[in-house]
Structure 1
């Protein structure tokens, strides 16, 4: 199996374990990754919602930004407040291009002596090159290719992890800390991509398999593949880079205004100063000028609606398209994220998705589709 550019697929440190567990492996972001295990996507999804699921997300990019100027430097690349972030606090960020389009979405933590950044697997080489080129003269940019990343997600994740690592239960949503497990230095954040309580664990590659096996030996934990990761994040209303956001979408079109803190948009000394700022700030101030907007959709019939289905109004006119869609395992109803013309973005607006030439009625609905269970203390 090879990646699209004819390079052999890369393996995460858990590749052999996935094979032992009977995973069906697929090409994803240049890696051979588990899409599901023998119990299947539906069972994996529901297990994560009720107990704890273990995900291998080691294909993601991990890097450090180090130096006195690192926070101010990173702030020049994103419409986000980096400088005021407290120590061991985590935040969601958006790397933008000069047109205000989204190069990638990411998570970053102020660890006190550095910024710890996690970027998407498919974008990581381009992201690191971009960051290095733009701010490499202001701070050290240190990729961490020898770190694996595990995500333990679900309502019983805290019970499981606290059994193995003391102190993790003190973390609240979007905070992190340094921990040790059997001599391996870990950095753990209470965060994830499922809408559930849970943790992401950065672990040296050499300790990743032993940690994964120890977690899987706990009665509450099952291995979960990319398929259920996708259905869980969609129920939580979370964007998938490359589907729901990309270089052609701005944060405002993507309904990610909440990710742009007031200090970066409200007339102070730190307003703007990021790529595409004039475009993004104009859209924030004059949303009536938008050509499209991201919305959540709920199908009114039990017919799965998948990307890139076309959306039409009552008169059969094209008004948008689906960017992510599937049958929600939790709700047993089809849900989707989509871009529509702003006239059709109001809650409860009824529109139609074209599925094999037939219109499926859908209504605009708030996200998340399934309530989140983040632990905020």
Structure 2
């Protein structure tokens, strides 16, 4: 389990109160949370993941005005109860061969009223309805316990990244680099939800380079979306076996303009427009169309990606992972917006860095 039970139980109580307020406001009979993201949120860091590439896990949570119930089968129930789910939840356990019993249970629990869901489906012809947008906004504003879990995750994910790139050698393949990254994360109890790697030849070609069997050569990029307790730490770093390429500072200036626009009360689209203007000043106007710029993170690698029309209002307690890029260059960390501005959760003080507009930003590691 993730953290002291009393802390987790208090967090769960607050979240259940928010869900039950939605039930009262909408007149719905139940809220059904299917996704691994929502399961982690409502259980204060529990995991329903077995197949990590899936969106939904081996358990759901059903919330009614009277009960918060974990829906799972007899294969998973004991482990979830012992290792993932804090006290305060009941369990509905169906035989693995009779999944239809779960749908029947949900309908009965809702008492003939609507069922709201993060991933709406149909129950015997009765449509589920999507969650209100306000609830998703509520999820993106992280509480104190979530923020503390995030800090620990960010620190350990950045340490894993630094460890691997300091060991990397030009003769490694991209598979070996990505594998070393995944191993370093797993060793710390972190799920490698995404690991990208590109060497010298492929680095300037692709913004999302899934690893290949090519040797990395004189330079390489490693990217993590590292998940623990449902939260994602997203970061990108580079290693060069020789002098690093030009262009790092120009990209850092683009990023700095975007980060400066992250303030409570502003919209996510305002950050996008700030980045677009910065690319224009850097004479790289087309770069914003060559890759998305990131956005709000948290219980998904990107909860919402910034676009020219993303009206989502920014609030303290939100986390962000932007990734401005030029051809062959990218910069990315995970930040938390707090009372003093942006806190870099994936900062490694031992990694080479440059002060850019009062903020330490990662340079390429120039290895010997």
**Structure number with higher helix proportion:** 2
Q: Comparing both chains, which one has the higher relative contact order based on Cα–Cα distances under 8 Å and sequence gaps of 6 or more?
A: 1
* Structure possessing the higher radius of gyration over alpha carbons: 2
> What's the TM-score once normalised by structure 1's chain length?
0.29
**Structure number with higher strand proportion:** 1
> What's the TM-score once normalised by structure 2's chain length?
0.30
